[in-house]
Amino acid sequence: MRAHSRFSVSRLAVRIALLAAAALVLSLVGRAEPPQQAAQSAPPQTAPAAPQKSFVIVGADVADGSGEPLVQESVRVVGDRIVRVGNFVPDAGETVMHADGLVLAPGFIDTHNHSGPGLETDRLAESQISQGLTTLLLGQDGSSPWPIGEWLDKFRKDPAALNVMMLVGHATVRRLVMGDDFRRPATLEEIAHMAALVDQGMREGAVGLSSGLEYEVGSYSATEEVVAMARVAGKYGGFYISHIRDEADRSFEAMHELLEIGREGELPVQNTHIKLGTVGVWYRAAEVATMYDAARHAGQDVTADCYPYDAWHSNFKVLVPNKKYDDPASVSKAIDDVGGPQNLLITDFEPHPEYQGHTLADAAKTRGITPTQLLIEIIRDGDGGVIGHTMTEQDMRVFYAQPWVMVSSDGGIGMKHPRGAGTYPRVLGRLVREWHWLTLPEAVRRMTSLPAWRLKLHDRGLVKEGMVADLTLFDPRTVIDRSTFAEPQKLSEGIEKVYVSGVLVWDHDHATGAKPGKVLPK
Ligand SMILES: [Zn+2]
């Protein structure tokens, strides 16, 4: 319950404030102001007279982000832009970076990242830039900071090492409107208020709507409510990215709902961290692909993103979709559905910190009770964090075989799952080099131009003249993740240099301290 207690203002006061906000929103919409331009402070500029810094990277094999084969080319960067790509000789006196044997790629773009809270105190984001990441999309799973404009302004005034983007969180808006009384469908009036708040978030700089319909607050929403909010995001050119309503036995229903929200809301949709998480739906990834392909062929814009691990990280409640948390039959079925209590690793449980790092099976054994009894107790006593080893590698491989599936981490600063620090090097080192699931240029495309296209970042995601110089230079022979479930924070290896807007932020094994990150898209 601690997540709910911060809303101490009375519902009446909230409502009055919201009505006023909605009125303001409507008046602003009426005047069709450009989104948030006036309120933004100008990004820091170099003095106009100073010559722009220039350098040339020579000898690298360029994976330009398009998926085309590697080509050894030189790349010149002036200021924050790539100005020349090809076979040319650097000018006399020009700074040259020799990169023989390395691959030069666009900076990686993560469409599902949870570094928002971590960035507040860790602007250098070492665990992120050390993976080659240069842009993070935050505000995921239905949860975003509020007000969004204020949050983004903090990162304009005091930037991070890498670029940030924000989504409007469906659950965040739902709580703002419904307060603690959210365990029911919203009324039409409430939905109108939510839509007005989504409108506000989009005008303040968000690029879409996120939802976490499997989680507590989002799970009570009707499809129509989400459609009403998605339509507003779509009006601003935004997309809808969803942790869908069920990633277990009812995955297919939840995927159909995602498609329906896209059609009815008239906007692109993305099935984030796509997975099949229970025994009942294992090995059905090909069916998922067929279903989404059919929608795509019918003209719907649908994509997905996938993290390269067969284990998820969430809370225990998501295991019990019927919410009968104290019903032994329901809880016992939940444990069976994921293949047994040995597949559930406890990462956090405040009343019993000693459970951390133990499976539900082991912790129950130590206590001398059944796993079902322990799970009932954990949820009753405030719920805890859990890593579920409940996906199959076979399904993951089928997902990654789809050209519309991008790489994402669902990770972030301080995460207790190895994906937080290891996702991108893991794809390059294991899925590409060791397992041959993807070619290197194709893997790079899924990390760069594909997410850039989804996020409408038209001048990023490719190594091409005129594009912003967000670049990642890595050693294809050594790049690898080092983070594990036991040591989730361990930094990756083999990412040699990372540039954000032409500025070096990561150098072999350390952050340079530079913080050129921008709030995107503008
Ligand atoms: Zn999620």
Instruction: Give me ligand 1 centre to Cα 517, in Å.
Output: 25
The Cα 217–Cα 183 span in angstroms is 7
Residue percentage of the chain with pLDDT more than 70 = 90
Q: What type of residue is 324?
A: K
> Residues 39-60: what's their mean pLDDT?
70
Judge whether 88 and 72 are in contact, CB under 8 Å. no
Distance 309 CA to ligand 1 centre (A): 14
- Over residues 269-283, the mean pLDDT reads 95
Question: Which stretches of 183-223 are assigned E, i.e. beta strand?
Answer: 208-212
Rounded to the nearest 5°, which phi and psi values hold at 351? -65, -25
Distance 214 CA to ligand 1 centre (A): 8
pLDDT for 207 beyond 50 = yes
| 110: three-class secondary structure by DSSP | strand
The mean predicted confidence, pLDDT, of the chain is 91
Q: Say what the pLDDT of residue 485 is.
A: 85
Record the tokens describing residue 129, joined without a space. 């830039």
**Cβ atoms 423, 308 nearer than 8 A:** yes
Quick: pLDDT tens for 382-435.
Answer: 999 999 998 999 999 999 999 999 999 999 999 989 999 999 999 999 999 999
Q: How far is CA 135 from the centre of its chain?
A: 10
Q: Is 445:439 a contact under the CB 8 Å cutoff?
A: no
Confidence of residue 24 (pLDDT cuts 50, 70, 90): very low
C-alpha 434 – ligand 1 centre gap (Å): 28
**How far, in Å, from the CA of 185 to the mean position of ligand 1?**
21
The four Cα atoms 360, 409, 274, 485 give a dihedral, to 10 degrees, of -20
DSSP state of 279: G
Q: How far is the CA of 145 from the centre of ligand 1 (A)?
A: 16
Tokens matching residue 68: 């085309």
Q: How far is the CA of 274 from the centre of ligand 1 (A)?
A: 9
pLDDT of amino acid 18: 47
> What is the distance between the alpha carbons of residues 435 and 275, in angstroms, rounded to a whole number?
20
Tell me the C-alpha to C-alpha distance, in Å, between residue 242 and each of 41, 143, 160, 187, 201: 31, 11, 26, 22, 17
CA of 482 to the centre of ligand 1 (A): 23
Distance 178 CA to ligand 1 centre (A): 22
Count Cβ atoms below 10 Å from residue 344 Cβ, excluding itself: 25
pLDDT of 466 strictly over 80: yes
Q: Which two tokens stand for residue 132?
A: 């080659």
Between the CA of 368 and the centroid of ligand 1 the distance, in Å, is 33
Distance, in Å, from the CA atom of 303 to the CA atom of 399, rounded to the nearest integer, reads: 11
